[in-house]
Amino acid sequence: MTVELRHHTELTARARRDLLAVYADVRAPLLHLPNYGVEAFLGRLDRHADGPGFGLLLGYHGELPVGYVYGNTVDAADRYWTRLAEPPPAGFTDRPVLALREIGVRAPWRGTGTARRLHDAFLDLRTEDRVTLMVNPLAGDGKVRALYETWGYRAFNSQPPSELSPGLAVMVRAR
């Protein structure tokens, strides 16, 4: 399946609509949970889009949005680091890091390499030396975390659970 990639550094109305369509499809089984609901996602998305270094890569099959990846730059002062269970190692935040916020691919495009292609193309557009992400270690019975490990990520910290979110593994790799 041919997938065309379209890069955005601003969240246009169309990009937001297309991203939301894929998100709602990918997360459909979880939308009833407070942290995964559309309103909660849109709140996070808008906050991230207003942050430094925002970028979004959408994948399209024809005009159908089929996948996405987005993230933004986090520096030493970003609240991202205060949410971790342990402080980052000394010097870890001396240089900005890319926080990969979300990756999602519609079911018919899973297992086709689309997620990896989106991920790698997005990283190719970035200038940060390292990238970090948070993942539910139980997602897909651990398969999601294992997939990220095959992409070169390693766990280095965690985010404790909250009333809205499960505990998350925090992973990092060189860009």
Instruction: Say if pTM beats, i.e. exceeds, 0.75.
Output: yes
CA nearest to 48, candidates 11, 21, 19, 5: 11
Lowest mean pLDDT among 62-66, 83-87, 123-127: 83-87
pLDDT tens profile 134-152: 998 877 778 899 999 999 9
Report the Cα–Cα distance between both ends of the chain, in Å, rounded.
27
Helix or strand or coil: residue 60? strand
Here the tokens at position 22 are 């894929």
Sketch out the chain's domains with CATH numbers.
4-174 (3.40.630.30)
Here the tokens at position 106 are 């519609």
Using CA atoms of 37, 44, 108, 111 in order, give the dihedral in degrees to the nearest 10: -120
